[in-house]
Amino acid sequence: MASDKQVTFVIVGGGIAGVTCAEQIASQFPSDGVCLLTASPLVKTVINFKQVSKTLEEFDIEEQPSSVLEEKYPNLKVIQSAVKLLRAKEHLLQAENGQTFHYKKLCLCSGGKPKLLIQDKPHVLGIRDTDSAQDFQKRLSKAKRIVVIGNGGIALELVYEVEGCEVIWAIKDKAIGNTFFDAGAAQFFIPSLEAEKKDRSLPCKRSRYTTDNTGAGHSGASGELGSALGPDWHEGIEFRGAEQSSSGVHIEYECEVDEIFTQHEFLQSKLSTKKSELGVWPAYVHLNNGKVYGCDFVVSATGVVPNTEPFLHGNNLDLAEDHGLRVDDHMRTSEQDVYAAGDVCTAGWKPSALWQQMRLWTQARQMGWYAARCMAADVLEETIELDFCFELFTHITKFFNYKVVLLGKFNAQGLGFDHELLVRCTKGQEYVKVVLTGGRMVGAVLIGETDLEETFENLILNQMDLSRYGEELLNPNIDIEDYFD
């Protein structure tokens, strides 16, 4: 039944950005109404938050029914319905369930959607939410060979986790995982891909993502997206193909997909390949290096695009080059009283020399929290400074069961040739890379249990001149912590 509601604060999206924002604003304004509108039945909440050091943080994620949030914050109402229309000038939102909301302040946290290589092909699958991960698992159980396209975090974890199925991994770069690390680190990981699964039992310390098994976590009834998965999204889901043996990963470097065919299309195609030699498969992938692979299906893991669509029509929302909602240093979009946070937005302020936006779990939490504080400051007519968390990029994660810490300009992003690298590597154990410019540390990649993150974070933040230490900086026989204390 259609109804009209006046609410002070409306937040859109039950992912980590939206939930963090809603919780923060609800606790700061206990006598004002807060509405969280979300397309997914479960909401994602941060638990066990731990500030590891000045900027590094770790936490677990739990999918919870919305009632948990409502019990915790009596002024917070969670409504499971997708937003279909925004009329920013009128401060009005319309949801699919027919309800209309008049807000004072609105924060859009609708996340991203998979950038599918090819739309509407039955043999191409994107992985984003619990549903799509389960769909992948189901299809994998009958598969003998899959082709994975993409070189980001999802592809990296996927190719490592899949067992009992041959994986052809096509990447456009010279090395694996180049969103996160350089060719040296990629080389460090390669043996892990070749190792038998039983040997892959290195200790791991990382935030744990838990899914509810009530069958929730599904996309909205109207086909809207569920929340993006996060750290350890594959934990508890076995990725096993139809083969008994672990069939290995074959990497095709520096190539892109030219075309994906169904079996029928392939047979009709004019490709000069000897078709009969490729065997009979449900799908075929033609790469631009000339190779053709038959497979059961293709996983398109080529990133996400900000999910802005429902909000654009009739509004004057400024979009960034990556199609995110451009926000200023107060998380404000170009429409008055409309803020945005998480994967849907693009930081439009001049970033600190040591920070860059990456669509990651930690930043979704930080932006959601900061957006709430900015909304509050605006309402209270207070000033607010850009939060310290945007000073230095930090990310703790896990790849191939190794702890990975990324700090600052960890890949010398934007530094051109104006930098120097120091590397220390012990095969199978650790990989440490430091990026220096003008003798000062501006970034680091730490793989394995290096215990260096806090010291390096300090060295990056205080911009101490390290020229006189030279390579000693990574000398394993020196306790660097004592050195700089």
Q: Which residue ranges make up the site for ligand FAD (CB under 6 A)?
A: 12-18, 37-40, 82-83, 109-112, 127-128, 153-154, 224-231, 233, 307, 310, 342-343, 359-362, 364, 397
Check if the beta carbon of residue 129 is closer than 8 Å to that of residue 63.
no
In the complex, the smallest distance separating the C-beta of residue 94 from ligand FAD, rounded to whole angstroms, is 10
- In whole angstroms, give the CA distance from residue 93 to residue 95: 7
- In whole angstroms, give the CA distance from residue 456 to residue 444: 8
In the complex, the smallest distance separating the C-beta of residue 214 from ligand FAD, rounded to whole angstroms, is 16
Between β-strands 257-262 and 283-287, what pairing exists: parallel, antiparallel or unpaired? Answer: antiparallel
Angle between helices 16-28 and 361-379 (to 10 degrees): 30
Residue nearer to ligand FAD on the CB measure, 75 or 110: 110
CA dihedral 370→372→374→377, nearest 10 degrees, is -130
Residue nearer to ligand FAD on the CB measure, 152 or 448: 152
Check if the beta carbon of residue 332 is closer than 8 Å to that of residue 345.
no
In the complex, the smallest distance separating the C-beta of residue 360 from ligand FAD, rounded to whole angstroms, is 3
In the complex, the smallest distance separating the C-beta of residue 188 from ligand FAD, rounded to whole angstroms, is 19
Residue nearer to ligand FAD on the CB measure, 158 or 459: 158
Check if the beta carbon of residue 218 is closer than 8 Å to that of residue 169.
no
Check if the beta carbon of residue 268 is closer than 8 Å to that of residue 259.
no
Residue nearer to ligand FAD on the CB measure, 139 or 275: 139
Cα–Cα separations (whole angstroms), residue 226 to 14, 36, 90, 114, 472 = 8, 15, 28, 11, 48
Q: Which of 80, 453, 151, 142 is nearest to 303 (CA)?
A: 151
In the complex, the smallest distance separating the C-beta of residue 108 from ligand FAD, rounded to whole angstroms, is 9
First and final C-alpha spacing in the chain: 65
Residue nearer to ligand FAD on the CB measure, 14 or 294: 14
In the complex, the smallest distance separating the C-beta of residue 307 from ligand FAD, rounded to whole angstroms, is 5
In the complex, the smallest distance separating the C-beta of residue 98 from ligand FAD, rounded to whole angstroms, is 14
With vertex at residue 32, the alpha carbon angle to CA 29 and CA 34, rounded to the nearest 5 degrees, is 95
In the complex, the smallest distance separating the C-beta of residue 369 from ligand FAD, rounded to whole angstroms, is 12
Residue nearer to ligand FAD on the CB measure, 33 or 310: 310
Three-class secondary structure of residue 480 per DSSP: helix
